[in-house]
Amino acid sequence: MRGIVKRFGDVVANDAVDFTLRPGTIHALLGENGAGKTTLMRILYGLAAADAGEIAVDGERAEIRSPRDAIRAGIGMVTQHFSLAGPLSVAENVVLGDEGGFRLDQAAARARVARASERAGMHVEPRARVDTLSVGEQQRVEIVKALSREARVLILDEPTAVLVPQQVEGLFAALRRLREQGLAIVFISHKLREVTAISDEVTVLRRGRVVGTAATAEVDERELGRMMVGRPTAGVASVGETHAGEPVLRAEGLSAHGALGLPALRDVTFDVRAGEILGVAGVSGNGQTELAEVLSGMRTPTAGRVSVGGRDVTGARPAEVTAAGVGRIPENRRASVVGDLSVAYNLVLEELDAYRRGPVLDEKAIRARAEELIERFDIRARAADPVGTLSGGNIQKVLLARVLAREPRVLVVAQPTQGLDVGAAEYVHSVLLAQRAAGAAVLLVSDDLEELLALSDRLVVMYEGRLTGRFDRADVDVERLGLLMAGLRDAA
């Protein structure tokens, strides 16, 4: 890729980017959110059109206007959100979209899956319905689908985000096998340790420009962090010494139904003490979301009890739970703000009555409060800016400011750094550790195992709505943790 330029209005997503990918290499693409990584790869796969620049394959200029053009050029991509048809089988998904008439040769399709599976060294059952597969298995289907189309270039966007440790190792083994066969692989990840473990080369983007390209063996994590954010990074912060007090948040025998009326929580019991972070580990979809909703009053339990400082808040409305001292940082940050409203109004959204003068709102007081919180929480925005125009990191700061300004005794935090760049994630970690140091009881739900291991004083593991394991920070066994996350309860 030479001189790639892509603009979205006044924003330059890619600014004259050069990117070279060689056969038989795993090439990592790093950068903060908004650095232009995904845009660059969408252009390579034909999902977006460059405003300037060119792409060459084997030295010959290639016109890639659609994914079909990319596939014909030998380029495949596995995005973070899979593009699979759930009711169809693996074999049917693999051939979906191919040219060749209306009749499907099932035997030929299954043979094609078998060949691609063998090439990658990852088993996929051709007859299995995709919607019965785990997320890790669906990812394998996407990889097999690309390989079955004779891909010579494979783009993987944050491929480990949904995997437990054992699955990550299996993925890495497959990627090394494909590299030995001469495949060129682009590996997009925000996890520096994974990049240093799997890649041969690394290119860093910052604000749409290439900061540098290097052999991975010649740079360390701190240097990569500096290239990404313009300063050295220390990685995920560490919790330090524990001074936990008495239990503040208690859950006893909690059960609850999920969105479809099916059991999501099953007899869950634990407590969180003052001055500690309790981490909740598990593959996404095993009840973590419902747990956070029950604890913050967003979902009513079908059984069990929740108490805060000895006060029963079981089934209480969100406002009552908030009044009891619980602060909630939800996993869907954009759904928790009103995008068209200003930063100032979003910061006081949950306490508007305190800013009323009779039937009207005190605009001057709202603005003053907003400017105080903007400075205190380093929100890179003005009070009058629509909150929907902010980056994910700054929206998260708005939510943190709104919640922490009330000085809650308990924090229920879900996926606090998901989708955030390195600098914003560091800030969120520092805030959580500061809350812990101030004596708050913090429940941390995260799909990022590295984050949980670094921040948590204790860990519990959730699988299919049950707590299947408990660990103190000092005795965490990552392999055993991964087995429990995968549902192997005898690992306990």
The reported pTM is 0.64
Q: What values do phi and psi take at 178, rounded to 5?
A: -70, -35
| Fold classified for 234-325+408-492 | Rossmann fold (3.40.50)
Is 3.40.50.300 the CATH number for 2-229?
yes
**Cα torsion at 124, 128, 129, 130 (round to 10°)?**
-10
- Domain coordinates in residue numbering, the chain: 2-229, 234-325+408-492, 338-404
Distance CA 438, CA 432 (A): 10
In CATH terms, are 2-229 and 234-325+408-492 the same topology? yes
User: Tens-digit pLDDT profile for the chain (492 aa)?
Assistant: 999 999 987 778 899 999 999 999 999 998 766 678 889 999 999 999 999 999 999 999 999 999 999 999 999 998 877 888 888 899 988 888 775 556 778 888 889 888 988 888 888 889 999 888 877 888 888 899 888 888 999 999 888 866 777 788 889 999 999 999 999 999 988 677 888 899 999 999 988 999 999 999 999 887 887 787 665 555 555 565 656 789 999 999 999 998 767 889 999 999 999 999 999 998 777 899 999 999 999 999 999 999 999 999 999 999 999 999 999 998 888 888 898 999 999 999 888 888 888 888 889 999 999 999 999 998 988 999 999 888 888 899 999 999 999 999 999 999 998 877 777 888 899 999 999 999 999 999 998 888 899 999 999 999 889 999 999 988 888 878 877 876 766 554
